[in-house]
Amino acid sequence: MNIKSLLAALGLLLVVVPVRSQEANSLDPLVEVLGASEEAQFQLDILKGIAAALKGQRDVPEPKRWADVAKRLAKSPNVEVRELALSLSLKFGSRAALDDLRAQLRDASTGLAKRKRALEALVEARDEKLPTVLIDLLDDPPLQRAAVRGLAAFDAADAPRTIITSLSKMKPEAKRDALATLASRVTYAAALMGAVEQKTIPAKALSADVVRQLRAHKDATLNRSIDQFWGLSRSTPEAKLREIEKYKRVAELRTDVPNNLSKGRALFNRACVQCHKLYGEGGTIGPDITGSDRRNLHYIISN
């Protein structure tokens, strides 16, 4: 085995024996070898080994000579070498790498796949300048969903207002992502509930998953607002059973009174429509009761 093959094998061995971030100086010899090599495949083997060894780690100290070596690798004719070297620069906290990726992300002439990879890398790096770019990308249809999901990773002051303003122009899939992002942080959730209260966003637009996500913050102010639109949260099955029995007794007291379908529909529109669908109208938090046994009192009260 020649020396280059041996060193390439050493690079790949790092996959099996990961390097801890505080031991990043152990990468110095490999970086030296990278700096001396002109063979793309050899460079790629070493880069892949380093990348695998550092997977999942952050704040990794930059190895000696990496900045110089990275500049040279950035000019490689091999696309994988260029992109992997840039990714490692990001791992080592390179500001130049962040700037480069942001430029790729903004450039509409860059391939979509490459822009998506840049976005993902910047989100993973928690680039402090990224939220501004993501907000701009809410008007970029191919990247809109990725951008709105990415904003969930940042507490960006302008994000909730911009997302809410953009909702009306989004397709259903993007709207779901947007509502999930708005429910992801207390500050965003407060803006979301403010929009619901102001009827900018209809309460029925929030799915059961989003409401549960809002509840998960366990924020008293949020919960009061949620209770206003979706009722009190019952934490135990026993509490729900007591409620069911209570309303069954009330309903059974008036069995001699003829049904009034018009009043029933008006009651549904006032009290039930936010959560349940009936003949295509209503929310999706609770079951669609169009095809249900609506004569079954227990079923109706339970749902």
164 falls within a domain = no
CA dist., res. 41 & res. 51, Å (int): 15
Percent of the chain with pLDDT over 70: 76
Q: How confident is the model at residue 254 (pLDDT cuts 50, 70, 90)?
A: low
12 falls within a domain = yes
Q: What is the CA radius of gyration of the chain?
A: 28
Determine the average pLDDT of the residues in 271-287.
67
Query: Which tokens in the block code for residue 156?
Result: 């960006």
Q: How confident is the model at residue 7 (pLDDT cuts 50, 70, 90)?
A: low
124 falls within a domain = no
CA dist., res. 1 & res. 244, Å (int): 77
CA dist., res. 225 & res. 231, Å (int): 9
pLDDT of residue 121: 87
Specify the pTM.
0.64
Range of the domain at 243: 237-302
Q: At 191, is the secondary structure helix, strand, or coil?
A: helix
294 falls within a domain = yes
Residue 105 pLDDT > 50, yes or no? yes
Predicted confidence (pLDDT) per residue in 179-199, tens digit: 999 999 999 999 999 999 999
Asked which of 64, 93, 122 is the last residue of a domain, the reply is 93
Angle (deg, nearest 10), helices 40-53 and 28-36: 160
Predicted confidence (pLDDT) per residue in 90-101, tens digit: 888 889 899 999
pLDDT of residue 292: 44
138 falls within a domain = no
Higher pLDDT, 292 or 189: 189
Q: How confident is the model at residue 170 (pLDDT cuts 50, 70, 90)?
A: very high
Least confident of 167-171, 184-188, 278-282, 285-289: 285-289
- The answer to whether residues 230 and 275 touch, using CB atoms and an 8 Å cutoff, is yes
Percent of the chain with pLDDT over 90: 45
26 falls within a domain = yes
98 falls within a domain = no
pLDDT of residue 53: 80
pLDDT of residue 16: 38
Residue 294 pLDDT > 60, yes or no? no
Asked which of 40, 63, 93 is the last residue of a domain, the reply is 93
Higher pLDDT, 139 or 4: 139
40 falls within a domain = yes
Determine the average pLDDT of the residues in 240-260.
69
The residues, any chain, with a CB within 8 Å of residue 56's CB and separated by 6 or more, are: none
Query: Which tokens in the block code for residue 257?
Result: 């009174």
pLDDT of residue 203: 93
pLDDT of residue 51: 85
Q: Letter for the amino acid at 64?
A: K
pLDDT of residue 233: 56
Residue 293 pLDDT > 50, yes or no? no
Asked which of 36, 67, 93 is the last residue of a domain, the reply is 93
Least confident of 99-113, 156-170, 221-235, 254-268: 254-268
Residue 209 pLDDT > 90, yes or no? no
Q: What is the mean pLDDT of the chain?
A: 81
CA dist., res. 282 & res. 138, Å (int): 28
Predicted confidence (pLDDT) per residue in 15-58, tens digit: 434 555 445 567 888 888 888 888 999 999 889 888 888 877 77
CA dist., res. 102 & res. 115, Å (int): 9
Domain count across the chain: 2
